[in-house]
Structures are given as structure tokens and as C-alpha cells.
Structure 1
Amino acid sequence: MANKSLRILIADAQHFNRLRIERLFNQLGYFRVAPVQSLDELLPLVEYGCTPLDLVLVNGAMANGVLELFNFLADNPQVHHGFIFNEQQAPLPPVSGKVQVSRAALPDLATITQLMSAVDHPLPFVGTVISVR
């Protein structure tokens, strides 16, 4: 069951792409999804947000040499997990537990499902255990 409190940010310049990715998350039960269309919108949300983001998905083409997305996401304490898609410019970096990179133009449902299996961990049980005999 999806943890409905997860905070997800999608960054892509194309409205259709943002909408398509958001709908994939909605199909899986995730509805706290915020779309942004530029690095100018992404950076303040990540850098100055009061609550860390559970997942940030970024179209690699948006960086266009201005920002090293992999290091930005990997080194940022406000980002728990990152996913860079459509990364055609640089060689794929080594696998990191925090940031994943894909050459695919857009993530599909299978990719999002696999990604969320790493991001959405069951919440720890808090309460009283009652033993039944």
C-alpha cells in the first residue's frame, strides 16, 4: 500500500511530460506530487523547502550544462531519493543508493514501480502489541 505522505517533485520543461509522469504516480496511489517546469522553480523548492522531498525526478536535458544534477541530488540533504531521466549528455555515473540515472526519454510505469519499491518503505509500527493466548 502506498505511503500517501511521500513528497514527490517532478521537473520537466514539457507540460505533457510532467502530466504523464504525475498520472503514473497517481495510478500507484501517490498524490503528493508537485510538478515544476524549470531549474529556476526546482532549485528554491529543493534548497529552501522546510521538509525534505522523498523523491525528485528531473529531466536531465533541463540542466543543459548549467548544473551537475547527479551531484546536486546526491549531496543535498533535502532530497532523500533522486531520479534523472533522459540523461544523454554524460556517461552514466556509478550506481548510487540515493540517485538513479536513466537514458530513457520518460520513465514508464514499470520504472516508477521499481523506483517506488526503493523509496516507499513501510512505516515502522508504533503502538502497543497485544498478545492473544
Structure 2
Amino acid sequence: MADKTLRILIADTQHFHRMKIERMFNALDYYRIAPVQNFTELLTLIDYGREPFDVLVTDSQLAGGMPDLHGFLFDLAQVRHALVYGEALNSSDVPGYFRPKITSCNAALPSMSAITQLMASVEASRVRSSHVRPAKSLA
């Protein structure tokens, strides 16, 4: 069952792509979606948002060919999970330490299967983190 509180950010320069991806999320019962059309808008929402985004789905070209897009996304505390599409890399090519947070696909647009797998992973990580108990204080 979809966690309807998840915040999703879709970043793509093409309106049609943003709408198609948003409809895939809607079909899975996710509706807290913010679509943006350029890197400046993406950074504005991330920098000024009070709550982190649970998921970012972005076209690899949006950042203008940033040489280390995975490193940039990995360091963003305001984004918990990311799917980067339109890359020459496959997920297995993404360095191991990025994989818990970043998924990559080389398709021009992510498929419904890719979105479903991403959200299953996000939901599972939320369940795992909610079951972790804080360490007892020694004081």
C-alpha cells in the first residue's frame, strides 16, 4: 500500500515527460508530487523546502552535464532517494556507496516497472528505519 505522505520531485525540461512520469506515480497512488523544469527550480525547492523530498526523479541532462551528478545527489540531505534516467550508465555501473540512495537507468524515460521498483525500495527503507530503536543513553 502506498504511503501517501511521501514527497516526490520530478525534474525534466520537457513538460510531456514530467506529466508522463507524474501519471505513473498517480497510478501507484502517489500524489504529493512537485514537477520542475530546470535545475534552478530544482535547487530552489530543495534549498528552501522545510521537509526533505523522499524521491527525486530526474533526467541526467537537466544539470547541464554536471560531471559528478551522482556525487551531488548523494550529498543532498534534502533528497532521500533519487532515480536518474537517460544515462549511459546502468544501475550496476553506479558506485556501490551511491546505490542505497541513487538508482540509474539508461532509458529515455523510466518505465512503470522502474518506478514501481524504486517505490518498493523507498517504502521498504522507510519501514526498516521506523523499526530501528535509538541507542540507550549511558548517562
Q: Shared fold (TM-score greater than 0.5)?
A: yes
RMSD: 2.2
In structure 1, the gaps of 5 or more residues are 126-133
> Partners in 1 of 2:69 and 2:44 — Cα distance?
14
Larger radius of gyration: 1
1:8-27 correspondence runs (5 A):
8-27=8-27
Q: Which runs of 5+ in 2 are unaligned?
A: 132-139
Distance 1:37 1:19, change over 3 A: same
> Could you tell me how far 1:25 is from its partner in structure 2?
0.2
Q: Secondary structure at the match of 2:24?
A: helix
| 38-47 vs 6-15, which moves further | 38-47
CA contact (8 A) 1:84 1:99 kept: yes
Q: Among the aligned pairs, what percent are the same residue? A: 46
Between Structure 1 and Structure 2, the one with more helix by share is 2
Q: Structure 1 segments of 4 or more deviating over 3 A? A: 121-125
2:28 counterpart letter in structure 1: L
> Partner residue of 1:71?
71
Cα shift at 1:63 = 1.7
Aligned residues: 125
Residue 12 of structure 1 deviates from its aligned partner by 0.2
Aligned to 1:97: 100
| Range with greater deviation from structure 2 (92-101 or 34-43) | 92-101
The 3-state SS of whatever aligns with 1:118 is helix
Taking structure 1 as the reference length, the TM-score comes to 0.85
**Residue correspondence of structure 1 range 102-113 to structure 2 within 5 A:** 102-113=105-116
